[in-house]
Structure 1
Amino acid sequence: MQQQETPTVESIAALVDHAILKPELTDDDVAADLDLAGRWGVFSVCVRPSDIARSVARLDGTGVATGTVIGFPHGTTSTAAKTAESRRALEDGASELDMVLHIGRLRSGDLAAVTDDVAAVVAVAEGRVVKVILETAYLSDEQVVAGSKAAEAGGASFVKTSTGFAGGGATMHHLRLMRDAVSPAVRIKASGGVRGLATLLEMRAIGVDRFGTSATETILTDVQRLAETGTASGASDASSY
């Protein structure tokens, strides 16, 4: 469990992977979101694979890393496809990979297949951060635990709740299950429904290390307001990711 601290814009921004993943986003939309991420100094952006190169170029000099998604959003592509996608993403400049595990295999109890799928992407990443998305909305508690353990067995750096596209999102219950299921060496990422500062801080207090959200500006503006007035607005973002 993480020790609570007084939030600052810098400390909260350092926990954020700003999500730029909606399929309908135009080039101008993506550029605006990349500029927002650079302006706030978040840890990273998580972009669609086709946007990696432009993200790396536009964020050059900002200190904001570029991550991307693999097998997104369903996780049902073959391991060969996931590894090929991972290689191309790394060639284009991605520094972190958020892969969706094979949800159907996990629900079928084929944990060896799930572990091998993760391990193949981890091998391609060659030491770079790999986050494994469980898609908790589709899983029982037992499957959340089993998926977390399989991700760790495959060498994942993080286990992550959700894509944000399956209905539902990160919950305190699932995050506690995930934190308890893996060793301290594996970190936890909450995504889907992280729309406000209060939610983020509550999750941080139980050991969540990173947050995927499109509500970055809402959250960080609330941090600023809290520092200035002692009161956050409590406003929330309408999007699911």
Structure 2
Amino acid sequence: MEINRYIDHTLLKPATTINDIETLCREASTYDFFAVCVNGAYVSLAKRLLRDTSVSVCSVIGFPLGSMSGKTKAFETDQALSDGADEIDMVINLGLLKSGKHHEVLQEISFIRNITKRHTLKVIIETCYLTNAEKELVCKIAVDAGADFVKTSTGFGTGGATYNDIILMKKIINGKAKIKASGGIRDYQTAKKYIDLGVDRIGTSNGTDIVSWIKL
């Protein structure tokens, strides 16, 4: 198992500098991670820095709260793709979900899906704020909307990925989408367990620590 190819090397902190992004991309290129995951302002820079590598560029949308309008998320998505993003990680509107506006959540994801077209779309459901019933519901909504991945967390909530959530999500998705685990994954053993449970991507800011452990 080449664990490096599961990793979205992530840097989304609010005080991230250009030098930080340059370091992130250099590390991603060195270790041949699947992607870097950055805020929209840095997509074009990351794309330029990684143009001669196999590393993809992922942009977050509606991050980290997900509570802006669908039109705002659509504009942000279109801009990220124009700047060179290969993948989009969008945050759902948790308030709409919890208000019972399930069709509106479906419409928003479908709207973004129509914009992304051939580009990979991951839907962040922020499991730490959801009941198991809500997790099941939103996984079904994401699949019905055509998402490529359902993703556990932003890493900015009250909790990150858990093994139990992955088991539940895998059962509900039933092979109709892939799963990205993120939030609190900092070492090789934890990352490997998530992969063994069936996740297809790991979102982490500790990618270099995870792959470096293998060489110890």
TM-score by length of 2: 0.98
Correspondence for 1:78: 69
CA distance in 1, matches of 2:11, 2:160: 17
Amino acid at match of 2:85: A
Query: Does 2:182 correspond to 1:167?
Result: no
SS of 2:215's equivalent in the other structure is helix
Query: Does 2:178 correspond to 1:197?
Result: no
Correspondence for 1:228: none
SS of 1:60's equivalent in the other structure is coil
Q: Which runs of 5+ in 2 are unaligned?
A: none
Shift of 1:77: 1.0
The alignment covers a number of residue pairs equal to 216
- Corresponding residue to 2:28 among 37, 45, 48: 37
Query: Does 2:90 correspond to 1:99?
Result: yes
Ranges of 4+ aligned residues in structure 1 off by more than 4 Å: none
Shift of 1:224: 2.0
CA distance in 1, matches of 2:207, 2:185: 9
Correspondence for 1:52: 43
CA distance in 1, matches of 2:214, 2:138: 34
Shift of 1:30: 1.4
Shift of 1:109: 2.2
SS of 2:88's equivalent in the other structure is strand
Correspondence for 1:110: 101
Shift of 1:174: 0.9
Deviations 1:22-53 (A, max 9, x none): 11111111111111111110000011100000
CA distance in 1, matches of 2:24, 2:64: 20
Shift of 1:167: 2.1
Shift of 1:128: 1.1
Correspondence for 2:138: 147
Correspondence for 2:57: 66
Q: Which runs of 5+ in 1 are unaligned?
A: 1-6, 226-241
- Corresponding residue to 2:4 among 6, 10, 13: 13
Shift of 1:177: 1.1
Deviations 1:58-108 (A, max 9, x none): 011111010110111001111111111111100000010000011111122
RMSD: 0.9
CA distance in 2, matches of 1:109, 1:202: 34
Amino acid at match of 1:38: S
CA distance in 1, matches of 2:147, 2:160: 20
Q: How does 1:111-126 map to 2 (within 5 A)?
A: 111-126=102-117
CA distance in 2, matches of 1:171, 1:92: 33
CA distance in 2, matches of 1:30, 1:167: 26
CA distance in 2, matches of 1:209, 1:37: 18
Query: Does 2:160 correspond to 1:158?
Result: no
Shift of 1:183: 3.0
CA distance in 2, matches of 1:34, 1:181: 34
- Corresponding residue to 1:127 among 118, 122, 131: 118
